[in-house]
Amino acid sequence: MKTLRPLLILVFTSAFLLGGCSRHATDASAQNERSMGDESLGDQPDLIPVVAALHDQMHTWHGTQYQWGGTELSGVDCSGFVWRTLKDRFNLPMDRVTTTELLKMGKRIAPGDMQPGDLVFFRINGGMHVGFYDTDRHFFHASVSQGVIRSALDNPYWHRVFYQARRLPKEYNAQITLNKGSGMTLARK
């Protein structure tokens, strides 16, 4: 068992920030942040279980169609995907949250300090969109047009509408659960 506090904090922060996904793409606000960072998992071994849990969830949900307000494999929106990931993979007991509610949780972090599990927010057409930062300047989210996918933050569209990143507080305790076939359950105390 490993201590997963830093990783879980990132994941929970990301999840809490999701909700109320926007359906349309437009220009970003003046608060757009341009520099987004990279990280090396070799220097941060505690992030490996978080990355594994996020990829496990992505494997399960990849391609699930977008459905406003959805939280099931039959259809999910951005905050629903974040909520289900926090609930299913990080065993965080919480009621369904919106992107606006997630945006109020945790601590805002600089784009260059993002780590796997951090929540990433985008301002789109007056609404908000949320996802989980993965690695290598990519993130997982429920796209209106493509369903649950992994996208590049360096894509001109996502780069333009990027709003902020947030990390959940360290006080959260959880247990990471991977798909049954993986044989892994990592407890954090």
Q: Kindly list the catalytic residues.
A: 78, 129, 141
What residues form DSSP beta bridges with 127? 124
Print burial letters for 89-120: b (CB count within 10 Å at least 16), e (below 16): bbbbeeeebbbbbbbebbeebebeebbbbbbb
Q: Which residues lie below 8 Å from residue 51, measured CB to CB, with a gap of 6+?
A: 41, 116, 134, 135
Could you tell me which of 118, 131, 162 has the C-alpha nearest to residue 18?
131
